[in-house]
Amino acid sequence: MITLIASLWGSYQFYVNQKQEHVNVKVQHLEKSIAIILHFQEILASTYFEHYIQNDIVLNLMREASTTEDDTKKSAARKQLQTYVTPIHEKLKQNHFTHLHFHLPDTESFLRTHAPEKYGDKLAPYRRTVVMANTTISPVSGYEMGRVIGAYRNVFPLVQHGEHLGSAELSMDFGYIQQTLQETYKGEYILLLRRDVCDDMLFAEYKESSQRTLLTDDFVFNASSFTTTSLKDSINRQLAPQLSSTLSKYEPGMLSTKINGMYYTLTLVPFYDIDDKIVGYIGAYQRDNTQQRYFISFIFRTILIVLFISAIFAYYLSIKRGSDRLQVETAQLNRLVTSTRAGLWSYSVTSDTYDFNPYCLEMLRHELQAVNGHALQLTDFIHPEDVSSFSGELERLLSGSQDSFETECRLQTRNGDTLWALIRAETTEHDRQHKASIISGLILDITERKKAEEMIRENLRLKDDFISSISHELRTPLFSILGFTSILIKEKEKMDNKTRDEFISIIHEESSRLAVLIEDILKISLVESSKATYNKAGFEVADLPEALRKKWTKKAEARTLSLLFSLDAAVGKLCIYGDKETLIEALSKLVDNAIKFTPEGGTVKIGFELDSDRKNLLIHIIDEGQGIETSKWNCIFEKFYRSGRKGEETKGTGLGLPIAREIITEHGGVISVTSCVGKGSDFTVTLPLFIT
């Protein structure tokens, strides 16, 4: 069990790591794409600044504006600057630089080319990029929410001959960053801004440009750059319930959903303002079934692990059961050998006579060395079919071709019994020609060992039969699952939803069948090895029909069967001592078979009564099936035996009746069957009453 749990946990962790690695790859790809776009935008802004803005015309006008206190001169310089940069601004807008803004050294707004009528306001309270550029006299780039828009700002200091004259700003609405991603990487993207940041910074008249999304109330998008499709709306609606909690973490992440049989992901990456504060997310929509493939692989691995571990466990239980029996039998044999005295004998080649010690004669049921004047020969006791084998070994010993031998043969005692004996012999004396003159040996009674070996062979045969049956039963649903999952993987692009759902339904049914089979295999292994535990207690007989009625009425009605219970009130108040749930399980195996084999419209009867001595409870489960031939009444309680109706395959594990029999036996009861072919069967369970 620990191995199974560890294997499943390892498989699950591998699946989780696969999913997380996939999320990390998607996030890194989106972050890299955004970084490339922003870097390109900064290079483009710097190029435009150096080419169009950083020249003597602009610098001289900014010098005049920054060094005079005369408003008339400032206004004249502003108009000249506006006239000069307006065509430049039109070119910049073609590359999404929507705002060209000039500031004086004290951060006073000097000229907004997009709104030239607005100037003179101090930007220090709101515009950190402007303050930083005019303080450090170095370019500053980054996202910043202003009073009009949230944009990616590129602020360049204006310096002429070492004198700081102010700054120029080339800003790109962040919505165009989204559009650039879509144009460059051919995908669907979304820009989400924190609503609280927009509410704090934007002028009231500009808040209309930000609309709430279908995803969450805490984020908005820029209406001018937002595009939607019916597919994107469907994805957003399905992701809305889980997206709110994801966005609130302010971390990269990915969500997935299924639309019209296709899997889609929304990868989210937070973006930061100039002060490293998260102000929103950029999201990428993609069709992606990678995580679903990982999930299918995880399920497939889980099934294989469960099957493999279960098969090993079942095999282990079978071997353990045989090993336990072998240990008992070996211990018995060792005690037998230890307590058994050996039968000793010797053979004189010269006199052609045998001598036997008393125990040897006792073993052979003889009291004298000779009978009616005839000296006993060892061959007198050897079974006729084994004489030639023994004589051949003895001849080779006498000829000197071997110094000893050991053989097993059957001995017939004086009273007609047959026993198996191990006969050992070796030459103990030689004549002058170095040939055997005296041969000594011993006889060990190995009858019990032979019986033990036969029992071991029988146990091994039963084990092999059990493993063979398990392999056969597991193979059919497993190959079905493998076949249909293989088709699902290979034909997923071509397969219609109806066929896919049908295949998934079949996989589910076969998996359920495997689960029932494995559960029954483990159950039969436990009960047969006496490892099953029972929580026995006294309970009323009436509890049994009530539990069976609740459990099986709906299944019977589904097959238009009548389920009739008969129980005398007095009988119902009597008690049984046992594990109630386990007994209900055993009876359910019988009721399940009765429902399975009774034709539609028929009746299954379940009756409870006392035997003639009123000491035992009799439970009758009667069906109206095809019945069972008399010769097969005992066979049906064997593992993996099925008694199906003619022309119809019986679905089941073939372990129900063996499990039921073992459980009933453990409760001191018996189970029997009487049946008439063509009329039905009556399974009778006899359980002792509990006398309090």
- According to DSSP, the residues that pair with 682 across neighbouring strands are 622, 674
Q: Is the pLDDT of residue 125 over 60?
A: yes
pLDDT tier at 157, thresholds 50, 70, 90: very high
Check residue 343 and give its pLDDT: 81
Average pLDDT over residues 398-426: 85
Domain range 345-445, CATH class: alpha beta
Q: Which amino acid is at 678?
A: G
Backbone phi and psi for residue 286, each to the nearest 5 degrees, phi listed first: -150, 150
Q: Is the pLDDT of residue 368 over 80?
A: no
- According to CATH, the topology of domain 20-288 is Beta-Lactamase (3.30.450)
Look at residue 386 in the predicted model and tell me its pLDDT.
87
At residue 285's C-alpha, the angle toward residues 279 and 288, to 5°, is: 135
Q: Check pLDDT > 90 for residue 82.
A: yes
Other C-beta atoms lying within 10 Å of the C-beta of residue 319: 15
Other Cβ atoms less than 10 A from the Cβ of 366: the count is 17
Residue % of the chain over a pLDDT of 70:
85
Instruction: Return residue ranges of the chain for CATH 3.30.450.20.
Output: 20-288, 345-445
Tell me which of 417 and 220 has the higher pLDDT.
Answer: 417
The predicted pLDDT at position 579 comes to: 92
CATH 3.30.565.10 segments of the chain: 537-688
Q: Concatenated DSSP letters for 465-532?
A: HHHHHHHHHHHHHHHHHHHHHHHHHHTTTT--HHHHHHHHHHHHHHHHHHHHHHHHHHHHHHHHTT--
Weakest-pLDDT range from 97-106, 516-525, 531-540, 564-573: 516-525
Beta-carbon contacts of 464 under 8 Å, excluding residues fewer than 6 positions away, are: none
CA distances to 367, 423, 428, 438, 503 from 435, in Å: 32, 21, 10, 9, 82
Query: Is it the case that residue 648 has pLDDT exceeding 50?
Result: no
Structural domain 292-339+459-532, CATH architecture: Orthogonal Bundle (1.10)
Report yes or no: 294 and 417 within 8 Å, Cβ to Cβ: no
Mean pLDDT of the chain: 82
CB 178 within 8 A of CB 195: no
List Cβ neighbours of 228 (8 Å cut-off, separation of 6 or more): none
pLDDT digits (tens, 9 = 90+) for 308-352: 887 887 887 878 787 777 787 766 644 554 454 578 888 888 888
User: Is 3.30.565.10 the CATH classification of the domain at 537-688?
Assistant: yes
The ranges of the chain annotated as CATH 1.10.287.130 are 292-339+459-532
Report d(CA 110, CA 102) in Å as an integer: 5
